[in-house]
Amino acid sequence: MNSKSTAIPRDPLKIPKPVSNPAAAVIRDTLEHQGISQVAAAKAMNISTAQLSDIIRQRKGVSAAIAIRFQFCFGVPADFLVRLQAQHDFQKALHAKGPDIRLEVTSLVAEA
């Protein structure tokens, strides 16, 4: 097809809008479950308390480096946190930019 397609492989309406960041929730819940303060956790992870607070309050995402630090401190697999963060980022981008991108892109394959 050379014309602009109005279909995208996944319908954004069928993918829920992210309400909260599940990677941040895992970090928050782990600290609460272990009874560890953000200050103590940040110190153990060798990051600033502000950085950890920004993640927990969902002002910043969980980077791969933070996920690795968290794994070494708390045993939560870093790849699990990174996948949660990636899924969250994808859902945000799909809902925020998907409709505009759909109009900008030309499909080069037949729709199924």
**Total number of domains constituting the chain:** 1
Q: What is the pLDDT of residue 110?
A: 80
Strand, helix or coil for residue 30: helix
- CB atoms inside a 10 Å sphere around CB 40: 14
Strand partners, 4: 106
Mean pLDDT of 18-37: 94
CATH code at 77? 1.10.260.40
- The pLDDT tens digits for 41-55 are 999 999 999 999 999
Under a CB-based contact definition with an 8 Å cutoff, are residues 32 and 43 in contact?
no
Confidence class for position 1, pLDDT limits 50, 70, 90:
very low
**Residue 59 resides in a domain:** yes
Q: What is the mean pLDDT of residues 93-112?
A: 87
Q: Tell me if 53 is assigned to some domain.
A: yes
3-state helix, strand, coil in the chain (%, to 5): 60, 0, 35
